[in-house]
Every structure is written in structure tokens, then in C-alpha cells.
């Protein structure tokens, strides 16, 4: 049996251990410390946003962002449907009500027309959302100009979920810098990792200062631990921030390598009828995951067959995210589809994510390509 090939596994560089050793040597093991400050400063500079707060996960960053944007029990929050559940679970933590927005085929991300229709509905119903959680899927930005313009017209802030798109750009500007608040994830499978962690970014310093406070049990500045509001234990530790600083130094290499992995797949399978996730003009994806859709019908069966074929050869591939409006957890939540029908459901049925790690070797990728060719032939694509 050959060695398993993972979808996206951690890829450490050479400087992370030096940062971690420094944390040990200086005894900055407990939460907070110089690496947390350094990681925040360096990440904010990288994405061109004023301020950043390092936290324990991307999900925690979204939860804090919702609170900062004033989301309360019973409020409506719009969210991209085609995403990982970490995007939308914080809506439920706030006892707010999600409304899901479909994707557009052009970017697989939030469809501006569907968003517009959701806003018209919300106005009629008296349910204007407190914010819009806008996801950048698989390393690819959403249609920022159109979506930000619509949200501005309705006076509703954007929370940009850039968990999967650190290092991507939209018209030259960094992904994660478009919302009132942006968030990133450093989970083990993301483009860079701290083993687990997240970051909240904003130009508004007051928001970020408040995020730091809420993430450390909302302690008031008093020696005796005074509390006037609910806080959380969401701060990133100094050790993990050290790993993050090392990872940030190799981020551009990681993006280049993931894009190269994607190009290699696309060139090798140029004869096939499969369709690769598009990269619209003006957008530079990180290709965090290399994704394609199967052509033709009977998709659910053929997708499952293809994934089973790869699994038998110890290759970890996955379907595209199951959209949130199809999840039992969110049954009954309103959903606004693309004018052509449910695009997110079609992508889920037909979409496959391939092993895409920046540490994928040439030999491993050749093995994936060889088995994928055979699998595609078997399912008639
Ligand atoms: C990974 C991810 C999250 C959550 O990040 P964690 O660090 O795992 O909590 C949120 N949104 C999207 C789109 C993600 O891919």
C-alpha cells in the first residue's frame, strides 16, 4: 500500500522552531507575549489593514466579529451558503437567524443578484440583516465590487470570511481587507497554520481593541478582575503566535506552490471534459484547494464512485462543501438562489477537491494524476 496523500496537510518552514524556542527560552508560554503582538502587527501589514487581534480559531474570530457588529438574539444575518460550517455556526452562538445566499457560477462565491433579492425581501419583511458574512471559497475572492456596493447601499456591514483565502488578491488588494471586519484561520489544513488559530482584522482600532478584550474574558482594567459584560477565552497563545510568525514568512511561497499544483493538474488533464474552478479576471486565487466539477448527469453517483476510486488508492479527495441551506442543522433558514437555480447545490453534487498541499511532492502529484485519469475514465468524464 502506498503512502496516503492528504488533501491539505501542515507545511512548516525553517523559522517556526526558532520562534517557538524563543517563547520557551523567555518563558513566554502563557497566553500573550511578544509573538502575539508581532504576529498581529505582521499579519495586519501583510493584508494592508490597520489592526489585528490573534485568537484561538477562525470560528472564534467570526463569533467576536458578530458581537462587535452588534448581532443580538433574534437578529438576521446573511451568509454565503457554500462554505464550511465554521462560517455560520457563530450566527447560532448569538441566537441570531441565518439567511443563506447562493453562489454565482463565475467565482463559486456569493451571487450579487441573489444578495440583492435577499435585501429586497428583508426590507419587505422588516428583517434587515445586522451584517453579511461574505466567504472567499477555496482561496478565491468573491465579487467584491458588486457585493460591497450592494451592502453599502443598504447600510449593512460586511464581515469578510477569508479563512480560506489568506494571500489571495482582488484587483491587487488583499483578501480579508474588504469588510468592516475580516477574519482568517490558521487551522491545520489552511494555507498557513499555527496548529489552530485565527485572526480578526479591521481598520477601526476601537473594534480590534474590543475584540482583544472580549477574547480575554472581558476583563476591566482593575487589579481585582472586574467584569461588566460577557467575555470569552479566545486569545491565541504566545507559542502558537510564534509558529504563525514563521509561517507568515513563507506564505508567498506557499501561495506560489499551491498555484503551481493547480496548473500541473490542469495541464495534465487538459484532454478531459471536467471544468476547473474559474478564476475571474482581476482576481488572483491562492488555489488553496484545486477543485473541479464533473460534466454530465447522474452526478451524485459518479462523484461518489470517483471519490471511492481515489480512496482505494490512498488519495484523500473530498466533495465541495455541502451548502449550509441543505444542512439539517439549518433546516428552515431562508435561502436565496441564483436566477438559474441552486448553484451551490450543483457545485456540491458535481464538485471535487483534490490533494493540494504546498508540500505535495512531484511524485505524489503524478500518482494522483494517474489515478484520477483512471477514475475519470471509469465514471465517464
Ligand atoms: C476553516 C474555516 C473557518 C473556521 O476556521 P477555524 O480556524 O477552523 O475555526 C471558517 N470559515 C471558513 C470558510 C473556513 O474554511
* Domain identity same for 184 and 307: no
- Closest ligand 1 atom to residue 190 Cα is 1
CA of 269 to the centre of ligand 1 (A): 30
The DSSP line for 351-381 is EEEE---TT--HHHHHHHHHHHHHHHHHTT-
Q: How many CA atoms lie within 13 A of 288 on its CB side?
A: 27
Q: Are strands 181-185 and 198-202 parallel, antiparallel or unpaired?
A: antiparallel
Residue nearest ligand 1's atom 11 by CA? 87
pLDDT at residue 85 greater than cutoff 90: yes
Those residues with Cβ within 8 angstroms of residue 62's Cβ, 6 or more apart along the chain or in another chain: 86, 87, 90, 133, 159, 161, 183
DSSP 198: E
Residue 102 in contact with residue 336, Cβ under 8 Å?
yes
CA of 271 to the centre of ligand 1 (A): 34
* Domain identity same for 241 and 273: no
Please give all residues whose beta carbon lies within 6 A of any atom in ligand 1, as ranges: 57-59, 83-84, 86-87, 135, 161, 163-164, 185, 187, 198
pLDDT tens digits along 224-233: 999 999 999 9
Domain limits at 310?
Answer: 252-379
Which of residues 380 and 164 earns the better pLDDT score?
A: 164
Q: How many CA atoms lie within 13 A of 64 on its CB side?
A: 36
Rounded CA gap, 306 and 294, in Å?
10
* Domain identity same for 225 and 272: no
> Strands of 181-185's sheet, edge to edge?
51-55, 198-202, 181-185, 158-161, 131-135, 76-80, 97-101, 335-336
Largest CA distance in the chain: 69
The confidence score (pLDDT) of residue 351 equals 98
CA of 59 to the centre of ligand 1 (A): 6
Q: What is the pTM of this model?
A: 0.97
pLDDT at residue 293 greater than cutoff 70: yes
Specify whether 190 is catalytic.
yes
Task: Assign 3-state DSSP to the chain and report helix, strand, coil percentages, each to 5.
Answer: 40, 20, 40
Residue nearest ligand 1's atom 5 by CA? 58
* Domain identity same for 218 and 87: yes
pLDDT at residue 49 greater than cutoff 90: yes
According to DSSP, the residues that pair with 170 across neighbouring strands are: 173, 283
Q: What percent of the chain has pLDDT over 90?
A: 92
Closest CA to 78 of 2, 131, 140: 131
pLDDT tens digits along 331-381: 999 999 999 999 999 999 999 999 999 999 999 999 999 999 999 999 988
pLDDT tens digits along 203-255: 999 999 999 999 999 999 888 999 999 999 999 999 999 999 999 999 999 99
Which residue out of 25, 72, 171, 190 is catalytically annotated? 190
- CATH classification at residue 283: 3.90.1150.10
Q: Is residue 10 part of a domain?
A: no
* Domain identity same for 191 and 44: yes
The confidence score (pLDDT) of residue 299 equals 95
* Domain identity same for 171 and 272: no
CB atoms within 10 A of CB 92: 15
The confidence score (pLDDT) of residue 1 equals 56
Among the three residues 248, 268, 300, which one is the final residue of a domain in this structure? 248
Q: How many domains does the chain have?
A: 2
- ∠ Cα 72 123 79 (to 5°): 55
The confidence score (pLDDT) of residue 31 equals 63
Q: Is residue 7 part of a domain?
A: no
Q: How many CA atoms lie within 13 A of 322 on its CB side?
A: 7
Rounded CA gap, 215 and 213, in Å?
5
- ∠ Cα 276 193 310 (to 5°): 40
Which of 60, 79, 84 to probe ligand 1 with, by most ligand atoms within 8 A of CB? Answer: 84
- ∠ Cα 110 114 116 (to 5°): 105
Amino acid at each position: 500500500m502506498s503512502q496516503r496523500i492528504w488533501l491539505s496537510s501542515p507545511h512548516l518552514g525553517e523559522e517556526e522552531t526558532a520562534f517557538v524556542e524563543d517563547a520557551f527560552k523567555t518563558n513566554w508560554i502563557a497566553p500573550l507575549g511578544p509573538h502575539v503582538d508581532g504576529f498581529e502587527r505582521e499579519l495586519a501589514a501583510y493584508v494592508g489593514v490597520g489592526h489585528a487581534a490573534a485568537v484561538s480559531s477562525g470560528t472564534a474570530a467570526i463569533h467576536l466579529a458578530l458581537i462587535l457588529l452588534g448581532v443580538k438574539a433574534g437578529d438576521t444575518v446573511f451568509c454565503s451558503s457554500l462554505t464550511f460550517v465554521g462560517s455560520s455556526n457563530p450566527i447560532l452562538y448569538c441566537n441570531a437567524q441565518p439567511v443563506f445566499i447562493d453562489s454565482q457560477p463565475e467565482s463559486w462565491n456569493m451571487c450579487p443578484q441573489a444578495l440583492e433579492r435577499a435585501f429586497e425581501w428583508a426590507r419587505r419583511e422588516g428583517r434587515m440583516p445586522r451584517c453579511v458574512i461574505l466567504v472567499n471559497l477555496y482561496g478565491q475572492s468573491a465579487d467584491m465590487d458588486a457585493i460591497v456596493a450592494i451592502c453599502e447601499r443598504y447600510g449593512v456591514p460586511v464581515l469578510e470570511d477569508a479563512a480560506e483565502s489568506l494571500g489571495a488578491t482582488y484587483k491587487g488588494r488583499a483578501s480579508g481587507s474588504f469588510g468592516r471586519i475580516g477574519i482568517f484561520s490558521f487551522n491545520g489544513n489552511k494555507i498557513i497554520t499555527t496548529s489552530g488559530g485565527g485572526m480578526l482584522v479591521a481598520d477601526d482600532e476601537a473594534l480590534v481593541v474590543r475584540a482583544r478584550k472580549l477574547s480575554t474574558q472581558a476583563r476591566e482594567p482593575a487589579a481585582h478582575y472586574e467584569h461588566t459584560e460577557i467575555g470569552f477565552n479566545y486569545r491565541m497563545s504566545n507559542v502558537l503566535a510564534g509558529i504563525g510568525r514563521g509561517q507568515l514568512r513563507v506564505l508567498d511561497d506557499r501561495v506560489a506552490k499551491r498555484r503551481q499544483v493547480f496548473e500541473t493538474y490542469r495541464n495534465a488533464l487538459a484532454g478531459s471534459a471536467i471544468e476547473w474552478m474559474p478564476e475571474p479576471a482581476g482576481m488572483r486565487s491562492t488555489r488553496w484547494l484545486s477543485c473541479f466539477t464533473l460534466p454530465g448527469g447522474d452526478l451524485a453517483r459518479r462523484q461518489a464512485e470517483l471519490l471511492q476510486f481515489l480512496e482505494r488508492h490512498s488519495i484523500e479527495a473530498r466533495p465541495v462543501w455541502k451548502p449550509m441551506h441543505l444542512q439539517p442543522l439549518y433546516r428552515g433558514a431562508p435561502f436565496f438562489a441564483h436566477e438559474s437555480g441552486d448553484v451551490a447545490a450543483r457545485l456540491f453534487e458535481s464538485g471535487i477537491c483534490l490533494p493540494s498541499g504546498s508540500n505535495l511532492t512531484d511524485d505524489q502529484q503524478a500518482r494522483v494524476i494517474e489515478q484520477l485519469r483512471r477514475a475519470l475514465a471509469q465514471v465517464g468524464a
